[in-house]
Structure 1
Amino acid sequence: MTSPMDLLEAAPFLDVADPSFSIRSPEVMEAREKSWFARTPYGIAVLRYDEMNKLLRDQRVRQGSYAWPKHNNATGSFADWWMRMLLSREGADHSRLRRLANPAFSPKLVKMMTPRFQEMANALIDQFIDAGQCEFVSQFSEPYAAQVICSLLGLPLEAWSELVELATDMGQALGVTYKQDEARVNAATDKLFGYAHQAVATLKAAGLGEDFLSSLIRANEADKNALSDEELYDMIVLAIFGGIDTTRNQISLAMETFLAHPEQWRLLGEQPELARNAVEEVMRIRPTVTWVTREALEDFEFQGLLIRKGTTLHLFSHSAGTDPRVFDNPGFDITAKRQPHFGFGAGAHHCIGHFIARGDMTEALALLAQRLKNVRLAGTPDYLPDSGNTGLNRLPIAFDAGR
């Protein structure tokens, strides 16, 4: 019988600290075939679908990135917010905040906003379609993601560019240069809180409606012990920060994926009702969140491996989403019905904004595929690192003009 120590020592090693490490590399795929997990400099990487599915729901682990500011000896407004916000809460406290916030992220809201999503997407496409080319990130995915957030919060659409800049600056906190970028990160965080206060004040003056922000404000006004003022603004900043970065990256990754599968793009243009499934398929095969972390709350054994308290588990979304043990034909197919992917996580920390993200991306892809025909690469893409939260900085494309 293999001992837990022998099992650990026999596992493959993945150097996720290497700046050139890719979550989609043959090295990761080979490791997945040898073992359900791999050793890394920062803990254990979970590589297969079934094991990831179980561990995301295991109550012996907690969300793992809560201590990131402490690991970097960072202080200030971002660190304080990061430790307070929903993603870093656990147990009853986490459940309370999710329960109060859930109405603001409901399918009903998405249905109400669908015409607005379509209007914003068409307006952006109108600006470049006659040229027959565009830089997709700066001309579509970035402004679209930010304008969705502006609409959610009742902010003027022209604020989108500053929100992108602030979210980008704030996002430096999630990289290895957090400590040296600390002043920039905190300044951006302070400005985003300023936008949050502005949005609440403007809406209160105009009168609450049936929108996203009104729902959060009502929860706060009904019982400040249940949702405090601080928690209200923390939630709004999370919506801005998370909504812009992940949606921008995921839509650009969707376009990059379709460029490699032009027959799927033509099919989507002919059958736009496939857009919802296309979002799921893109997020399975090319997620922007390439892995999520958990931390062991106690010593426990999992499939023969002894996992010590405090161990960090890196659950690889891409590797799990293409696991041939679960997906007989893991290639890209927007007509296929699949097992759920992990692009939005799972379990207690399943992304609270997933209905909105699914809704806005569905409308964007449907309209893009209908209006941009014969899409092709028109230059050299520029990528973010292919691990952590990934995406594109630049994606030049061409298409038939004037559709």
Structure 2
Amino acid sequence: MFDQNFIENPYPTYRALREAGSAHWNGDFLGGAWLLPRHADIAPVLRDARLSAQRSHCYSALLPEPVQPAFAEFNRVFGMWLLFQDAPEHTLLRKLMNKGFAPQVTDLWRDAITRTAHTLIDRLPAHGTVDYMGSFAHPFPALVICELMGVDARDQAEFIEWSDAIARFFGNPASSLEVAYRGRDSLLAMTRYFEAVVEQRRHAPGDDLISLLIRIEEDEEALNGEQVASQCSMLMFGGHETTRNLLGNGMLALLRHPDQMQALRDDRSRIPNAVREMLRYDSPVQYLTRIAAEDFEYAGAQIRRGQMVVPLIASGNRDETRHADADRFDIGRADTAHFAFGHGPHVCIGTRLALLEAEIAFDALLARCPHIAAVDTRPEWLANFGFRGLSTLRLDMQTQPADAGAVAA
């Protein structure tokens, strides 16, 4: 199932799975898992308390038994991410962190995000071929999250390297030892980096996101230093990896549908809806995972305690029973509901930030790049099943100077 053809285009496989049934047992996926490809089965399962989000240990569990003890600290730190918490711990942690992503907070970030987008476009040549992923989509979200957290942008390259290494380990059903060790070391290095920053912020707080997370309290509860550092690692990883892929997958969708690109150029007020259609059409996250906390029957499957359940959210987004003509990319689609940010209590905490980044990025690109065309007919995809994105996307582009008033606005 998971081969090069699937990486380049998983959607025919998803369609075949939907047509074949509601639940499919795959003995090779993460050591054995129930795959759920249909939209109707995905939303309920992501709200089902019989399924646990505490699955951070599952990735190292697939490695040879003699090396698994070497991942004990990785599992402990990885397991501290909000992503892997169940209620009631998740409920409190989420309640505290939500304050850092409240609308009145994220709205204050608009100017910084806009400046970052235009700064990167300024660095592009006026004419010629550029690697859009390397020159814009890859650095943009990393620079944004660095600025929001108040960390040195000169460390951006290291953050990207760490993030990519974690994604290769986290996003593949079976990883080599080399990929696993690199992912382990990268997560621990990123967390230690943020532990040092948190300690600095305790003595010299600022107006950045890390300082905000340190200050946040609720009913005499607060995040300790290691919790803040762990969540910062999660935010850096999630904020970079998925947004980068959204910018790449979205641009590719526009290039392959020039009528939609032109419609967006003609009316950039349609960008917010277009971004949501990009997420539905080609989700940066292809699947989510949960572990059964008890035996139960679901979607015709007899699920046993400890088994992995995998909602294929990218398949659900293309389900014809939910979206008419679901394989068509249409920025004017009235209903762009999708699972790209998850669903239920674990819906992505950075949803508003990711949408804001993508909307600003595409607005700036379309405003300042009157010509954008693909150079390669078959772009290169990352060898990653869980996080779908391009490694390179070579474009022939023209860029124009920014209008100072528009950038400031």
TM-score (norm 2): 0.87
| Partner of residue 327, structure 1 | 323
* 5+ residue gaps, structure 1: 1-14
Contact 1:38 1:44 in 2 (8 A): yes
Cross-structure match for 1:6: none
Task: Name which of 293, 297, 319 aligns with 2:293.
Answer: 297
The correspondence for 1:215, drawn from 197, 212, 218, is 212
Contact 2:22–2:38 (CA under 8 A) maintained in structure 1: yes
- Distance of aligned partners of 1:59 and 1:85 in 2 relative to their CA distance in 1, 3 Å threshold: same
Q: CA deviation at 1:76?
A: 4.9
Could you tell me which residue of structure 1 aligns to residue 339 of structure 2? 342
Kept after mapping to 2: 8 A contact 1:132/1:398: yes
Offset, 1:336: 1.4
Query: Shift in Å at residue 276 of structure 1?
Result: 1.5
Following TM superposition, by how much is the alpha carbon of 1:129 offset from its aligned partner in structure 2, in angstroms?
Answer: 4.6
CA offsets 1:271-330 (integer angstroms, 9 cap, x no match)? 222221122111111011111112221122224432222221111112110111111132
Query: What is the SS of the residue equivalent to 1:75?
Result: helix
CA distance in 2, matches of 1:227, 1:196: 14
Name segments (4+ residues, structure 1) moved above 6 Å. Answer: none
Task: Provide the aligned C-alpha RMSD in A.
Answer: 2.3
Match of residue 104 from structure 2:
108
| 2:318 matches 1:318 | no
Which moves more between the two structures, 243-252 or 36-45?
36-45
Q: Which residue of 101, 114, 117 corresponds with 2:113? A: 117
Say which is worse superposed, 116-125 or 126-135, in terms of deviation. Answer: 126-135
Cα drift, residue 385 of structure 1: 3.2
What is the one-letter code of the residue matched to 1:341? H
- Which residue number in structure 2 is paired with residue 395 of structure 1? 393
2:141 maps to which residue?
A: 145
> d(CA) in 2 for partners of 1:386 and 1:218?
37
Q: Following TM superposition, by how much is the alpha carbon of 1:193 offset from its aligned partner in structure 2, in angstroms?
A: 2.4
One-letter amino acid of the counterpart of residue 211, structure 2: S
In structure 2, the partner of 1:7 is: none
The equivalent residue for 2:197 is: 199
Q: Given that residues 345 and 351 in structure 1 are in contact (C-alpha distance below 8 angstroms), is that contact kept between their aligned partners in structure 2?
A: yes
The answer to whether structure 1 residue 31 and structure 2 residue 29 are counterparts is no
Cα separation, 1, equivalents of 2:181 and 2:324:
49
* Selected match of 2:150 from 154, 160, 168: 154
Aligned residue among 26, 47, 66 for 1:57:
47
* 1:237-287 deviation line (CA, Å, top 9, x unaligned): 111122111111221111111110112122222222222112211111101
- Letter of the 1:55 counterpart: V
**Which piece of structure 1 moves more, 71-80 or 127-136?**
71-80
CA contact (8 A) 2:146 2:156 kept: yes
**Equivalent residue letter for 1:179:** L
Q: What is the aligned partner in structure 2 of residue 377 from structure 1? A: 374
Percentage identity across paired residues of the two chains = 27
The 1:27/1:143 distance shift into structure 2, 3 A limit, reads closer
Deviation at 1:367, TM superposition (A): 1.2
Preserved CA contact (<8 Å) 2:22 2:299: no
Q: Which residue of 1 aligns with 2:407?
A: none
Give the TM-score taking structure 1 as reference length. Answer: 0.88
Q: Do 2:195 and 2:225's aligned partners in 1 also have CA atoms closer than 8 Å? A: no
Distance in 2, matches of 1:27 and 1:71, equals 24
The aligned counterpart of 1:235 is 231
Mean Cα displacement is larger for which, 266-275 or 136-145? 266-275
Give the length in aligned residue pairs.
Answer: 386
| Distance change >3 Å, CA 365–CA 235, structure 1 → 2 | same
Does the 8 A contact of 1:249 with 1:390 survive in 2?
Answer: yes
Alpha-carbon contact 1:268-1:370 (below 8 Å) kept? no
Structure 1: distance between partners of 2:281 and 2:152: 35
Structure 2 CA distance for partners of 1:203 and 1:131, relative to 1, 3 Å: farther
Distance 1:19 1:312, change over 3 A: farther
**2:61 paired residue number:** 70
Opposite residue 177 of structure 2, the aligned amino acid is K
Contact 2:22 2:41 (8 Å CA) reproduced? yes
Whole-Å Cα distance in 2 between the matches of residues 26 and 221 of structure 1? Answer: 47
Are residues 1:177 and 2:172 paired? no
User: What secondary structure does 2:321 align onto?
Assistant: coil
Deviations 1:331-356 (A, max 9, x none): 11112121520001111211111111
Report how far residue 201 of structure 1 moved: 4.3
CA separation in 2, counterparts of 1:283 and 1:271? 20
Q: 1:91 to 1:139 in 2, by over 3 A?
A: same
C-alpha separation between the residues in 1 aligned to 2:147 and 2:258?
32
Asked whether the 8 Å contact 2:214–2:223 carries over to 1, the reply is no
TM-superposed deviation, 1:391 = 0.5
1:52/1:320 contact within 8 Å kept = yes
CA contact (8 A) 1:252 1:392 kept: yes
Distance 1:218 1:311 in 2: 39
